[in-house]
Chain A
């Protein structure tokens, strides 16, 4: 198959995998559009946030803090802390995308939010035979449509001025899509241990400032998963890399 053919196949597969998330992207974008408008931003500014940042929770944090007239440094530090998990995504994708030319890495990482990362890393296990180019296409096939829906939602929220009411259950649909990504991996004891650590740790450290509790829980969960793998899945012999 030609190079462009494998790109098309990867992109299409990415789009298909993104479909369940397409339904929550626009309502979530609308929520930000409404919060931003109510904080005093005009449509251009609200859209500017979504295009420059492309990370919902941190955008909501920044706009809320701005409307409370928090100091600039506090606004930036708090909102960026929400996005620090994406540094873990960046590291996790090094074995996959590290060989790409610098400009592709610099450009592609713009879309490194939760869904493109998670779906790409799941696809890595399910379809290990894809070439790097096909895998980039898969990643972009998830990321680009979802980012467009994010902009669209932001625009609609800012123009209409009303979000989809939370009590029809959309606020449950967002965490549900995240759990649905994780659930199929939980047959492995090491993955199950990591997931439980993440949940328990996040709840235990919930009151720590600047999102540090969540990040600490995630870091501990990585170690727990690895240690369980080394002890149970691969006892005695030196553990082999499964990336």
Chain B
């Protein structure tokens, strides 16, 4: 059994620390101009971060191992997204292949 006050302390400290991370640049840099190279780099933040979060989740199947269907569905999603330039269509294609494939395999 974990002490109740300890749980609250962790929750508050983690919340505070997370807020500080989120506040960091927005709070400290504010209205000042950052160097051009940095601003160019930060235009790639979404593509530099999200694939790295998603890929291990795609590769780790429900039972721990690699499931070809998940990789296939992820690739189909990416292909439809590049082709149609449309987030919802890409998502629909990926989920359709994943669920239809799962149902087909059983």
In angstroms, Cα B15 to Cα A58, docked, is 10
In angstroms, Cα B81 to Cα A190, docked, is 17
Distance (whole angstroms) from the CB of A84 to the closest CB of chain B: 6
Tell me if A218 and B94 are in contact (CB < 8 A).
no
Q: Flag whether A54 is at the interface (Cβ < 8 A).
A: yes
Q: Flag whether A86 is at the interface (Cβ < 8 A).
A: yes
Q: Is the interface of A mostly helix, strand, loop or mixed?
A: helix
Chain A residues whose CB sits within 8 angstroms of the CB of B56 once the complex forms = 202-203, 206
Q: Mark A38-54, 1 if CB is under 8 A from B, else 0.
A: 01111001001101111
Query: What is the number of contacts between chain A and chain B, taking CB atoms within 8 Å?
Result: 292
Chain A residues whose CB sits within 8 angstroms of the CB of B54 once the complex forms = 175-176, 178-179, 182
Size bin of chain A's contact surface: 35 or more
In angstroms, Cα B31 to Cα A21, docked, is 31
Tell me if A53 and B18 are in contact (CB < 8 A).
yes
Residue from B16, B42, B70, B74 whose CB has the most chain A CB atoms within 10 Å: B42
Q: Flag whether B34 is at the interface (Cβ < 8 A).
A: yes
Q: Flag whether A13 is at the interface (Cβ < 8 A).
A: no
Residues of B32-53 at the interface with A, using a CB-CB cut-off of 8 Å, are 32, 34, 36-53
- Chain B residue at smallest Cβ distance from A219: B48
Chain A residues whose CB sits within 8 angstroms of the CB of B50 once the complex forms = 114, 118, 178-179, 181-182, 198
Closest 4 pairs (CB-CB, A-B): A183-B81, A52-B15, A221-B48, A225-B44
User: Measuring CB to CB, which residues of chain A are less than 8 angstroms from any residue of chain B?
Assistant: 20, 39-42, 45, 48-49, 51-55, 58-59, 62, 66-67, 72, 75-76, 79-80, 83-95, 97-99, 102, 105-106, 108-110, 112, 114, 117-118, 121-122, 166-167, 169, 171-187, 190-191, 194-199, 201-203, 206, 214, 217-219, 221-223, 225-226, 229-230, 239, 241-243
Q: Could you list 10 examples of A-B contacts with CB < 8 Å?
A: A41-B7, A54-B15, A83-B21, A87-B21, A88-B48, A91-B45, A109-B23, A181-B50, A199-B51, A226-B41
